[in-house]
Amino acid sequence: MAESIVRLEGIRKELALSRDVRQTIIPNLSLDILKGEFVAITGPSGSGKSTLLYIMGGLDQPTFGKVWLDGEDITNIDEAEMTVIRNQKIGFIYQFHFLLPEFNAIENVSLPMLIRRKFGKKEIRERAIKLLDMVGLENKYTNKPNQLSGGQQQRVAIARALANEPKVLLGDEPTGNLDSKSADNVYQLFDRLNRELNQTVIVVTHDEEFANRAGRRIHLVDGMIASDSGSTVPVLA
């Protein structure tokens, strides 16, 4: 049976609007995502999608509840330790690519590996080239971000997110700034990573076509799961 890679138990997230007023973003949510799943999280604006994603990735902490990543309880881990865990186990892709403008494609992809210091310099360069080849940018190694199209910039960002062989790839509206052709290319890349490498992919998206093509779709309304279709998580009696 497949193992859980992300587990949320009784998650509640509140925001303090003032000293006496708190807004509930997620009232009470429990969720299991298994290794190798391709999950799209959808819902109207303000439904808690991005908040949920950031809690999964340790970028935000729940007010109450527990979060496990790859079998480890990350709920109350301090920021320094969480930074190390994120660098080793999580690949993040955002709506904007956040590439460093002064660095070329190889250098941008190399950065997470240089921070982790798991590989030597030669191996880092070789791996960066291999990842750029994987995302279809074999002729763009030395191009800087301003020399790349929006879709190409996002593919560099995906290669960078894969640099340290993450357990989970998290995307927050990764096709939000792209035209339909570039968005389709990004979807096909995620799908191939999922199928060929068994890469766990969790994506927040407003793109209906993208969401419907994922293996599992979780729809949120007011911070609660309104539907969960295509789930491979066994239902307990």
pLDDT of residue 105: 94
What's the helix, strand, coil split of the chain in %, to 5?
Answer: 35, 25, 35
Distance of CA 34 to the CA centre of its chain: 14
Residue 237 pLDDT: 35
- What pLDDT sits at residue 1? 56
pLDDT in tens, the chain (237 residues): 568 999 999 999 988 877 888 888 999 999 999 999 999 999 988 888 999 999 999 888 899 999 999 989 999 888 888 888 888 899 988 878 789 999 999 999 999 888 877 777 888 999 899 999 988 888 999 999 999 988 899 889 989 998 888 899 999 988 877 788 888 888 888 898 898 889 999 999 988 888 888 999 999 999 999 988 876 655 443
What does each C-alpha distance from 1 to 26, 216, 233, 234 come to in angstroms?
A: 30, 17, 10, 9
Three-class SS state of 166: coil
pLDDT at 88: 85
Q: Copy the structure tokens of residue 223.
A: 């911070």
Give the relative orientation of helices 150-161 and 121-134 as an angle to the nearest 10 degrees.
Answer: 130
Is residue 16 a contact partner of residue 178, using CB atoms and an 8 Å limit? no
pLDDT of residue 55: 92
Residue 152's Cβ-side half-sphere holds a number of Cα atoms within 13 Å equal to 17
Q: What was the pLDDT predicted at 225? A: 92
Q: CA-CA-CA-CA torsion for 153, 47, 28, 9, nearest 10 degrees?
A: -10
pLDDT given at position 193: 87
37-61+75-229 sits in which CATH class? Answer: alpha beta
Q: Give the angle subtended at the CA of 50 by the CAs of 45 and 56, to the nearest 5°.
A: 150
pLDDT at 224: 92
Structure confidence at residue 98 (pLDDT): 85
For the chain, what are the domain ranges? 37-61+75-229
Predicted TM-score of the model (pTM): 0.88
pLDDT recorded at residue 120: 79
* Element of type H or E holding 99: none
In angstroms, rounded to a whole number, what is the distance separating the alpha carbons of residues 220 and 175?
19
Q: How many CB atoms lie within 10 A of CB 226?
A: 12
